[in-house]
Copies of this chain bind each other. A is one copy, B any other.
Amino acid sequence: MKNSVPKVIVVGGGFAGLWATRALAKCECEITLIDKQNHHLFQPLLYQVATAGLSAGDIAAPLRHILREQKNVSVRLGKVVGIAPMEKHVTLDDKTELDFDYLLIASGATHAYFGKSEWAPHAPGLKTLDDALNIRRKLLLAFEYAEASTSQVEQDAWLHFAVIGGGPTGVELAGTLAEIARHTLKNEFRTIDPTVAKVRLIEAGPRILSAFSADLSNKATKQLESLGVEVCCGTAVSDITENSYSLGDKTVPAKTVLWAAGVAASPLGKLLDTPTDKAGRVQVENNLSLAKYPFVFVAGDLAGIQFDGKPVPGIAPAAKQMGKHVAAEIQALMVGKKPSAFRYRDFGNLATIGRLSAIVDLRGFKFSGVSAWLFWLAAHIFFLIGFRNQISVFINWTWAYCSYKRHARVIYGASKDKPG
């Protein structure tokens, strides 16, 4: 009897993988959820960890804790290094082979440097908690090294912060960085004046937040500028080194460059014996399965799928919807039902810029400023539900926003980094 229970492997405990797993709670199957990390991450607030407003534990919860009551799941910490869709097994980095009857790959996305991988060490991106803590260390140390510096030129370079990419993450990072320099660190230094720090947001396209209308995008630009961010659109970065970045022929001395420009799908997509697009997203059928292997599914940022003629965006609500759809498709397959197409329900789009400012587009109903920010805050607090400790996060946050203080300004391993 036990052998007849179908085996489901889910790779990735992000929004797509976790929501698929949960949606299979009542299904008679054995699920193995595999992730490289021990935690699910509430990625929409990752920039707050990078900018010391929240602690890592505020936005991450252990996967096995979240799923402890769901008896048909076992959680496995490990890295998938091989997938054999035909033979129906995956291989982990410790050489374990795990068999499956149904497979969901939801391993998300990573940074892409458009072929310039030599930029990566100088311009870290923001996808994991380690990335966030790395960026936090880099930001806080920049002010420390500026304070200790005896050369004006070097001091200016330490106080020049460039954020590459004008999508939501770039906007959040640039806005928060400007607030930190202008408010949080005020009065804390004796040699430098942190409020003169330059924060520049660089976007190759004609405007920031291109997923929004031109009107909202302009409002966001104005809000950023009022925070002290210099917004440079229509300019692509041509080089990044340890001490500078270049726009065209012009080289700008800057010790801190953050990368929020390019996203590439997880490399696991290449193991599926199925075409991928330029960004590495796997070409899936309209029910999110693979054409060659109808029992293998892809969901979340790794899935290349269109709906209503537009690509489904790489955001949390879309990933959750895909995860749930895959769970339904797996159950349909088990009982021999026909596949049904994934339908993306677009609830709208929101982006935050800084304290008390955001832009919201709820399917054409657009607003910005304080009301948009309150809406953004409410939505994020609401979706953190299921995470341990909303009250505490809410208090930390309200406190941080009201006082401009950021409690998580801890540099780990400070002594490991040396100024360049």
Contacts and interface: CB of A to CB of B under 8 A. Distances in A.
Contacts of A395: 389, 391-392, 395
A261 B64 CA distance: 33
Given A77-B148, A189-B64, A395-B395, A413 B55 contact: no
Interface stretch (A36-44, A107-115, A156-164): A36-44
A42 B322 CA distance: 45
Nearest to A394: B392
A25 to B, nearest CB: 15
Contact of A399 (B65, B129, B144, B389): B389
Contact of A410 (B36, B57, B64): B57
How many copies of the chain does the oligomer comprise? 2
A42 B413 CA distance: 17
B389 A396 contact: yes
Contact of A36 (B39, B133, B141, B414): B414
Interface residues on A, range: 35 or more
A219 interface: no
A55 B391 CA distance: 15
Nearest to A186: B68
B144 A415 contact: no
Interface in A47-62: 52, 55-58, 60-62
A56 to B, nearest CB: 5
Given A57-B408, A395-B391, A407-B388, A38 B144 contact: yes
B414 A74 contact: no
Nearest to A41: B410
A36 B94 contact: no
A415 B94 contact: no
Interface string A125-151: 000011001000000110010011000
Contacts of A62: 140, 188, 409-410
Central interface residue in A65, A79, A140, A392, by most chain B CB within 10 Å: A392
Contact of A56 (B55, B130, B189): B55
A62 B147 CA distance: 15
A139 B35 CA distance: 18
A104 B405 CA distance: 30
Given A38-B144, A77-B148, A55 B408 contact: yes
Interface of A: 36-39, 52, 55-58, 60-62, 64-65, 68-69, 73-79, 94, 96, 129-130, 133, 140-141, 144, 147-148, 187-191, 388-389, 391-392, 395-396, 399, 405, 407-415, 419
